[in-house]
């Protein structure tokens, strides 16, 4: 039972990270029906910005005095950086293609993903880059369960960001504009919504969440790598599809499910650890086969599929 | 200066400033806690100069300032095209075939090695072209069939001593089965979902190859695969047939050439057969095709299987040439590479794909000293192509627009 609970917490942690990345996919897909392949690379860039900023702060001696402040600053700056990166990608690779065929945009996204991944490799090197500190060391015991601080950070930060996002989407002006644009772009433009700005904002918000996820993954595993974005990116997309693409609640649930399945498969199925990456894809294929619109239903207009 | 042109230059300046802002943190914040500006600025200034020059040329062309220069150049190009178009097509095919046949006689090992790679990728590109270019099904996991073909031959050769030629049909069959296996559940999906599911399938196959230690020897790969062999008559001792292994690159080149020609002829015949027309109908408008009596289910499955056959054959040859296979060779990036050949050359266009394979395999070898920037340029070119020439270098003649693109 304790083992089960321990795995449950691990699964929630990983699932929270997937959910954060999945939100970026689902929001972008909801608005412009594009699989933003470069999103995984934005996630990796976030992880790298975390390393760079935390190393910088640590080398200047700020880490000993106030580690939490350092984490906060790095998180905020990395989220801002990735938002800018995503807006640049959108402007260069997607905006000029707004009216061309879907295949062109998809390939443009693929090209951007390869470009960014290699840009990271060229500027940061091919080897793993280690985070300067490990919040993982500390922890507390809850009965016979051991929960480390990193898991607390990830779970609380994920929850906080999800609540913030929900507020943003359902309670603010820009959120309403986003929902309107997702529902009907032409109609939204007619009532005075600047769809270009809404799309850029969507990219920026998604990228900010991905950057936070990248830092958390980096902190959790202790290092980042230039190609760390690809597989989590695809899994997060699987999560978005699983929950019903375009559906924000769905993406959260999908992320949690994918994370849980991965951890439990690794824990309970023989050889599950080696094949843990397979399960996300198998779930994706099964869901698309039996429920083509995902668990929570698709939230984009149905002229498309 | 008009308002339009002011906006153009303003965009350029903002873009460059934005780029500096993105570049600097990656190069300027050091691990030892210092800040440096020189490296980021050095990179930025180079990019800025190149981009500015390109922007000036583009602007000048748009404004019509270059017409006096471009007009004669365009006319000359037109003349050359007319002269080239005068002799019938078969003359060019003949010249091309003669050059291809004579190639190993006057080239180095290195050139032959690259030529073999180009020929393998031509087969792969043409196979993917059946799925993407003709049938309009975006497949991001195509390299899985290449892997299936390679491992089929590798295992048959190592465990059962199958000769290359006998193993070829098996490689093609297994790849076709894998094609149906992947095709079947994805037939209900279109467009983006299909892309992501095929990507998932490709990853599944790679992960299985990587972890099924008892069968595939995992990441260490399989060694000891036989090269292709031919039987040659030996008269020294009466008459007997001698087994001769084609280990020399020059001989392997001819096998690859044969494979490529088989693919070219095969895809050409498929393209202009009833089946090819049915595929194109599905690509243009699936609903209309179905209404016209095309069995879309069967033809889509057939497209997967046929595309996989070419991939499987290419894979078997790859295993025979390297005499070593490992999952490293079947990553997503290879799928992307083959896909971009098809797209760069022009989807559905056979000469286009040949040009695409040549451009993406041979050109990077010419610029070897920029090896590090290869994939960076590859990604960038893919995006730029979509922006400026989405139909590819040599667009297919029969190509329409999918109806569901128009919303």
* B180 plus B299 within the same structural domain: yes
pLDDT in tens, B344-386: 888 888 889 999 998 888 888 877 777 788 888 888 888 888 8
* A91, A108, A118 ranked by CB distance to B386: nearest: A108
Is A65 within a domain?
Answer: yes
Q: Tell me the mean pLDDT in the region B281-302.
A: 88
Q: Which residues pair with B230 in a beta bridge?
A: B244
* B263 plus B368 within the same structural domain: yes
Q: Residue A225 has which token pair?
A: 């790598």
Give A-chain residues touching B387 at CB under 8 angstroms: 93, 96-97, 108
**Distance (Å) from the alpha carbon of A248 to chain B's nearest alpha carbon:** 18
> What confidence tier does A301 reach under pLDDT thresholds 50, 70, 90?
very low
* B150 plus B299 within the same structural domain: yes
Range scoring the smallest mean pLDDT among A279-288, B80-89, B392-401:
B392-401
Cα(B300)–Cα(B285) distance, integer angstroms: 13
Q: Which domain holds residue B197?
A: 109-222+251-406
Sorted by sequence, the CB contacts under 8 Å of residue A5 that are 6+ apart come out as A145
Is A1 within a domain?
Answer: no
Beta-carbon separation of B207 and A277 below 8 A:
yes
- Specify the pLDDT at position B84: 78
- Specify the pLDDT at position A77: 95
**B-contacting residues of A 37-56, CB under 8 Å?**
48-49, 52-53, 55-56
* B41 plus B126 within the same structural domain: no
Range scoring the smallest mean pLDDT among A105-109, A301-305, B134-138:
A301-305
Model confidence pTM above 0.95: no
* B197, B390, B401 ranked by CB distance to A288: nearest: B197
Q: Which of B243 and B17 is assigned the larger pLDDT?
A: B17
Cβ-count burial of A295 within 10 angstroms (0-12 exposed, 13-18 middle, 19+ buried)?
middle
Beta-carbon separation of B200 and A271 below 8 A:
no
* B312 plus B390 within the same structural domain: yes
Give B-chain residues touching A211 at CB under 8 angstroms: none
* φ and ψ of A259, to 5 deg: -60, -45
Which of A288, A290, A291, A294 has the most B C-beta neighbours within 10 Å, making it the best mutation to test the interface with B? A288
pLDDT in tens, B141-190: 899 999 999 999 999 998 888 888 889 999 999 999 999 988 887 777 76
* B141 plus B53 within the same structural domain: no
Mean pLDDT (chain A) is 85
* B217 plus B288 within the same structural domain: yes
* B169 plus B74 within the same structural domain: no
Say whether pLDDT at B400 is over 70: no
pLDDT in tens, B48-76: 999 999 988 888 888 877 777 777 878 88
Give A-chain residues touching B26 at CB under 8 angstroms: 48, 52, 120, 123-124
pLDDT in tens, B293-335: 888 889 999 999 999 999 999 999 999 888 889 988 898 888 9
Highest mean pLDDT among A75-84, A222-231, A253-262: A75-84
pLDDT in tens, A143-197: 777 777 888 888 898 899 989 998 998 899 999 998 888 888 888 889 888 988 9
Which of B139, B154, B134 shows the shortest CA–CA distance to B202? B139
Say whether pLDDT at A231 is over 80: yes
Is A160 within a domain?
Answer: yes
Is B233 within a domain?
Answer: no
* A124, A275, A284 ranked by CB distance to B26: nearest: A124
Which of A11, A31, A3, A4 shows the shortest CA–CA distance to A184? A31
Is B101 within a domain?
Answer: no
Is A4 within a domain?
Answer: no
Say whether pLDDT at B255 is over 50: yes
* B179 plus B316 within the same structural domain: yes
- B382 → chain A, closest CA residue: A111
- Examine the fold and report which residue of B50, B85, B120 is the final residue of a domain before the chain moves on: B85
Q: Tell me the mean pLDDT in the region A23-51.
A: 91
* B331 plus B205 within the same structural domain: yes
* B42 plus B141 within the same structural domain: no
Q: Does residue A105 belong to the interface with chain B, where contact is any CB pair within 8 Å?
A: yes
- Specify the pLDDT at position B403: 45
* A145-148 and A139-142 strand pairing: antiparallel
Beta-carbon separation of B339 and A107 below 8 A:
yes
Give B-chain residues touching A76 at CB under 8 angstroms: none
Query: How many CB contacts within 8 angstroms connect chain A with chain B?
Result: 172
Give B-chain residues touching A304 at CB under 8 angstroms: 191, 404, 407
Is A222 within a domain?
Answer: yes
Cα(A52)–Cα(A83) distance, integer angstroms: 17
Say whether pLDDT at A212 is over 90: yes
Q: What share of chain A is helix, strand, coil (3-state, %, to 5)?
A: 75, 5, 20
Q: Does residue A99 belong to the interface with chain B, where contact is any CB pair within 8 Å?
A: no
Beta-carbon separation of B196 and A88 below 8 A:
no
- Specify the pLDDT at position B14: 92
Cβ-count burial of B351 within 10 angstroms (0-12 exposed, 13-18 middle, 19+ buried)?
middle
Q: Tell me the mean pLDDT in the region B263-268.
A: 92
- Specify the pLDDT at position A201: 93
Which of A61, A63, A64, A103 has the most B C-beta neighbours within 10 Å, making it the best mutation to test the interface with B? A103
Is B15 within a domain?
Answer: yes
The backbone region for B117, taken as left when phi is positive above 0, alpha when psi lies in -120 to 50, beta otherwise, is alpha
Is B173 within a domain?
Answer: yes
Give B-chain residues touching A81 at CB under 8 angstroms: 22, 25
* B8 plus B117 within the same structural domain: no
Is A174 within a domain?
Answer: yes
Range scoring the smallest mean pLDDT among A28-32, A139-143, B214-218, B333-337:
A139-143
Q: Does residue A234 belong to the interface with chain B, where contact is any CB pair within 8 Å?
A: yes
- For residue A122, the tally of other CB atoms under 10 A from its CB is 17
Cα of first residue to Cα of last residue in chain B, in angstroms, is: 37
Is B100 within a domain?
Answer: no
Q: Which domain holds residue A124?
A: 19-227
Say whether pLDDT at B404 is over 60: no
Beta-carbon separation of B386 and A237 below 8 A:
no
Is A45 within a domain?
Answer: yes
Give A-chain residues touching B200 at CB under 8 angstroms: 234, 238, 280-281, 284-285
Say whether pLDDT at A44 is over 90: yes
- Specify the pLDDT at position B181: 85
Give A-chain residues touching B195 at CB under 8 angstroms: 35, 106
Q: What is the CATH number of the domain that holds B150?
A: 1.10.3470
- Specify the pLDDT at position A305: 32
- Specify the pLDDT at position A304: 37
Range scoring the smallest mean pLDDT among A90-94, B192-196, B236-240:
B236-240
pLDDT in tens, B183-221: 887 777 766 778 888 888 888 888 888 888 888 888 888
Q: Is ipTM beyond 0.95?
A: no
pLDDT in tens, A47-78: 999 999 988 888 887 777 777 888 899 999 99
Say whether pLDDT at A9 is over 90: no
Give A-chain residues touching B327 at CB under 8 angstroms: none
Give A-chain residues touching B383 at CB under 8 angstroms: 92-93, 108, 111-112, 115
> What confidence tier does B406 reach under pLDDT thresholds 50, 70, 90?
very low
**Distance (Å) from the alpha carbon of B201 to chain A's nearest alpha carbon:** 7
> What confidence tier does A298 reach under pLDDT thresholds 50, 70, 90?
low
The total domain count for chain B is 2
> What confidence tier does B1 reach under pLDDT thresholds 50, 70, 90?
low
* A35, A84, A289 ranked by CB distance to B196: nearest: A35
pLDDT in tens, B79-123: 888 887 777 778 888 888 888 888 888 888 888 888 999 999 999
How far is residue A58 from each of residues A55, A68, A136, A154, B37, measured CA to CA in Å?
5, 12, 17, 21, 20
What is the torsion angle, in degrees rounded to the nearest 10, for the CA atoms of residue B254, residue B260, residue B261 and residue B267? 170
* B32, B189, B386 ranked by CB distance to A292: nearest: B189
Beta-carbon separation of B26 and A123 below 8 A:
yes
């Amino acid at each position: 039972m304790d083992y089960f609970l321990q795995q449950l917490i691990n699964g929630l942690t990983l699932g929270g990270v997937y959910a954060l990345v999945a939100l970026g996919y689902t929001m972008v897909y909801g608005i412009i029906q594009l699989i933003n392949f470069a999103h995984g690379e934005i996630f990796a860039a976030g992880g790298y910005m975390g390393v760079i900023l935390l190393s910088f702060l640590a080398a200047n001696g700020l880490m000993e005095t106030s580690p939490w402040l350092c984490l906060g600053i790095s998180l905020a700056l990395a989220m801002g950086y990735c938002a800018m990166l995503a807006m640049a990608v959108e402007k260069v690779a997607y905006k000029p293609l707004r009216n061309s065929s879907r295949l062109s945009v998809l390939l443009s996204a693929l090209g951007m993903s390869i470009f960014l991944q290699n840009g990271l490799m060229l500027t940061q090197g091919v080897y793993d880059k280690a985070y300067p500190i490990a919040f993982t060391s500390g922890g507390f015991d809850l009965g016979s369960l051991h929960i480390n601080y990193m898991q607390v950070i990830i779970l609380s930060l994920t929850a906080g960001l999800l609540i913030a996002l929900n507020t943003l989407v359902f309670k603010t002006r820009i959120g309403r504009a986003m929902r309107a644009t997702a529902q009907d772009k032409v109609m939204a433009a007619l009532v005075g919504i600047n769809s270009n700005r809404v799309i850029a904002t969507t990219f920026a918000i998604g990228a900010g969440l991905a950057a936070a996820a990248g830092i958390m993954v980096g902190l959790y595993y202790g290092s980042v790598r230039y190609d760390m974005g690809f597989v989590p990116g695809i899994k997060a997309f699987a999560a978005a599809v699983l929950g019903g693409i375009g559906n924000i609640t769905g993406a959260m649930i999908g992320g949690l499910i994918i994370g849980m399945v991965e951890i439990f498969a690794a824990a309970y199925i023989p050889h599950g650890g080696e094949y843990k990456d397979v399960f996300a894809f198998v779930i994706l294929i099964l869901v698309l086969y039996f429920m083509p619109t995902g668990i929570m239903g698709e939230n984009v207009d149905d002229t498309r599929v | 200066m008009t308002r339009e042109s002011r906006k153009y230059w303003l965009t350029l300046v903002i873009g460059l400033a934005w780029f500096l802002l993105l570049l600097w943190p990656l190069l300027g914040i050091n691990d030892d806690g210092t800040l440096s500006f020189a490296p980021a600025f050095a990179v930025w200034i180079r990019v800025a100069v190149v981009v500015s020059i390109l922007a000036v040329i583009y602007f000048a062309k748009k404004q019509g300032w270059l017409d006096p220069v471009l007009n004669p150049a365009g006319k000359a190009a037109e003349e050359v095209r007319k002269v080239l178009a005068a002799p019938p097509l078969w003359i060019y095919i003949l010249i091309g075939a003669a050059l291809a046949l004579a190639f190993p006689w006057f080239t180095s090992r290195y050139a032959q090695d690259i030529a073999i790679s180009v020929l393998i990728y031509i087969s792969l590109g043409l196979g993917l072209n059946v799925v993407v270019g003709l049938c309009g099904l975006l497949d991001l996991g195509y390299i899985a069939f290449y892997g299936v073909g390679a491992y089929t031959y590798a295992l048959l050769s190592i465990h059962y001593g199958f000769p290359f030629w006998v193993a070829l049909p098996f490689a093609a069959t297994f790849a076709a089965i894998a094609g149906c296996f992947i095709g079947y559940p994805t037939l209900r999906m279109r467009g983006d979902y299909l892309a992501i599911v095929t990507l998932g399938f490709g990853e599944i196959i790679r992960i299985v190859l990587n972890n099924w230690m008892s069968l595939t020897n995992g990441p260490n790969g399989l060694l000891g695969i036989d090269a292709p062999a031919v039987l040659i008559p030996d008269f020294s001792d009466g008459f007997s047939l001698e087994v001769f292994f084609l280990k020399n690159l020059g001989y392997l080149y001819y096998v690859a050439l044969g494979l490529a020609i088989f693919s070219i002829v095969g895809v050409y015949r498929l393209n202009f057969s009833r089946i090819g027309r049915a595929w194109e109908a599905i690509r243009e408008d699936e609903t209309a095709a179905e209404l016209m009596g095309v069995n879309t289910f069967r033809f889509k499955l057939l497209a997967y299987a046929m595309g996989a056959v070419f991939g499987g054959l290419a894979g078997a040859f790859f295993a025979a040439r390297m005499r070593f296979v490992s999952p490293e060779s079947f990553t997503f990036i290879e799928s992307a590479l083959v896909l971009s050949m098809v797209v760069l050359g022009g989807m559905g266009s056979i000469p286009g794909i040949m040009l695409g394979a040549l451009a993406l395999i041979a050109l990077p070898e010419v610029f070897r000293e920029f090896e590090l920037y290869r994939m960076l340029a590859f990604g960038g070119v893919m995006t730029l192509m979509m922006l400026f020439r989405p139909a590819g270098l040599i667009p297919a003649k029969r190509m329409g627009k999918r109806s569901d693109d128009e919303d």
